[in-house]
Structure 1
Amino acid sequence: METIIYVGGLYAGGVRGMAKTAKNIRKAALRQIPKPLADRTVFYHLRGGIDYEKLSFKHRMMMKMLYEQVKKQPVGEQDADTRAMIETYGQKVSFVDLACLDNIVKKLEGYPA
């Protein structure tokens, strides 16, 4: 069994760099890989952070449009991620939790070296 660990930032619903990586290793995620492979793929979501001051103009505008859209949602329809985005919009914030790596390490310990 082949083990591939890919780490990429999530941007507008896509994993940054995944397409380029997929060309090099002939594998990707979700819509980009055959179902038999997707069925054997384990995904872990590791939250990062955002610093609006460091975003490019294009990305700031994308985030502004997303913010304007989601803040119109009724509070009862907002999930925790949406509420966090609304509350922290325009700020520098980190959601990094290194303890989330524990599950990945445990999974990898079961694979042969």
Structure 2
Amino acid sequence: MNAIILYGSRYGAARRYAEALAAKTGITAEPYRTKRDISGYDTIIYFGSLYAGRVTGLAQTAARLSVRQKVVIATVGLANPDDNANADTIRAAVRRQVPDGVYAQAKLFFLRGGINYKALSLRHRVMMWAFRRILLKTPPEERTAETKAILDTYGQTVDFVDLGRLDEIEKAML
């Protein structure tokens, strides 16, 4: 198999998944920005962190993908993807960033990451502070699982990375 693992990671969870899969499979893992030509690969595995409804680097990577390539996309975010509403939101975010033909044949996986507020850039801390203030005004019964997760973890360091989930991604690569 001629494959590569690419990742877009801001604070490290997507990179951790990518590097762990690389160690497990022997496939090279690289940041999406460093690998310009991916046309020579049969299989592309992409790990991208979710921020503000977008998957880091996915649009740039997807624009270079071919329908002839096997594509596996794994998003990494704070919200629990086992919640159907969260999964639908994540799926829609991926859908907006990937061309129709590639999306139709891609295998999607939704993984949990984490957050460390002390490691956030000033810009991201301010954004999260403002977002939290907006969310607090939302009646509790109208909050989604994602917004509850943000409120519950605000200001904390949480790590939901589960490297055991890589087994299903490895199977999808075959």
TM-score range, shorter chain: 0.7 to 0.9
Gaps of at least 5 residues in structure 1 are: none
| SS of structure 2 residue aligned to 1:45 | strand
Partner of residue 44, structure 2: 4
TM-score by length of 1: 0.78
**Is 1:34 matched up with 2:91?**
no
Which of 96, 110, 120 is residue 45 of structure 1 equivalent to?
110
Q: For 1:61-92, what per-residue CA distance to the aligned partner results, in whole angstroms no more than 9, with x for missing partners?
A: 11112111222222222222221211110111
Q: CA 1:100/1:71 → structure 2, altered by over 3 Å: closer, same or farther?
A: farther
Distance in 1 between residues matched to 2:145 and 2:97, nearest whole Å: 28
Structure 1 position 37, deviation (Å):
2.1
Between Structure 1 and Structure 2, whose CA radius of gyration is higher? 1
TM-score by length of 2: 0.54
| SS of structure 1 residue aligned to 2:137 | coil
Q: RMSD of the TM alignment (CA)? A: 2.3
Which of 154, 157, 162 is residue 97 of structure 1 equivalent to?
162
Q: Which has the higher contact order (CA 8 A, sep 6+)?
A: 1
Distance in 2 between residues matched to 1:61 and 1:54, nearest whole Å: 13
Distance in 1 between residues matched to 2:99 and 2:48, nearest whole Å: 20
Which of 143, 146, 169 is residue 81 of structure 1 equivalent to?
146
Structure 1 position 53, deviation (Å):
0.8
How many residues matched? Answer: 107
Which of 17, 33, 39 is residue 57 of structure 2 equivalent to?
17
Structure 1 position 34, deviation (Å):
2.8
Gaps of at least 5 residues in structure 2 are: 1-41, 66-72, 74-93
Range 83-92 or range 31-40, more displaced: 31-40
Structure 1 position 21, deviation (Å):
2.7
Partner of residue 90, structure 2: none
Contact 2:113–2:159 (CA<8 Å) still a contact in 1?
yes
Distance in 2 between residues matched to 1:71 and 1:88, nearest whole Å: 13
Which of 131, 141, 166 is residue 66 of structure 1 equivalent to?
131
Letter of the 2:165 counterpart: C
Structure 1 position 6, deviation (Å):
0.6
